[in-house]
Amino acid sequence: MRLLTHNMLSSNIKGVTNGYPLRLEAEKWSVKEVDLNRDFLTNIFPRIEWKPLVDAARSLGLSSLPDDADPSMLNSDDFLKGFHHALLEIHVEEGALICPETGRRFPINKGIPNMLLHEDEV
């Protein structure tokens, strides 16, 4: 699971109102190089919740992202590289996403987050 996915997911348990952002608990992760696509990054940037991305990246020891970001920064190659790296090149292999309201763990196993709810949660 890459951080882009983490940025998009929330806990949708019945009754939960603040299911976002999910807390990332990574046990094992790796870095895999991905070709940088400027168009893609520019298109996706406005859809990203910046703080959850920064927090998730920092929890994995990646501190290069600025606290705040705005679209004008996309013109900077350094920023773009850092954004690309955090968003697409870090793969969480094992761990969990934790619902901020209930503490429910959505396990990440072999890189696949399991977002399916139990019977008593739908």
Q: Which of 53, 69, 86, 88 binds other proteins (CB under 8 A)?
A: 88
CA atoms within 13 A on the CB side of 108: 24
The token duo for 114 is 């399991």
If the CB atoms of residues 34 and 77 are measured against other proteins, the closer one turns out to be 34
Q: Which of 33, 39, 70, 78 binds other proteins (CB under 8 A)?
A: 39
* Contact window for other proteins (CB under 8 A) among 3-11, 55-63, 66-74, 76-84: 3-11
Contact map string, positions 97 to 116, toward other proteins, x by CB under 8 A? --------x-x-xxxxxxxx
* Residues with Cβ within 8 Å of residue 25, at least 6 apart in sequence: 95, 96, 97, 98, 105
Q: Can residue 60 be called a binding residue for other proteins (CB under 8 A)? A: no
What strands, in cross-sheet order, belong to the sheet with 23-31? Answer: 23-31, 90-98, 105-109
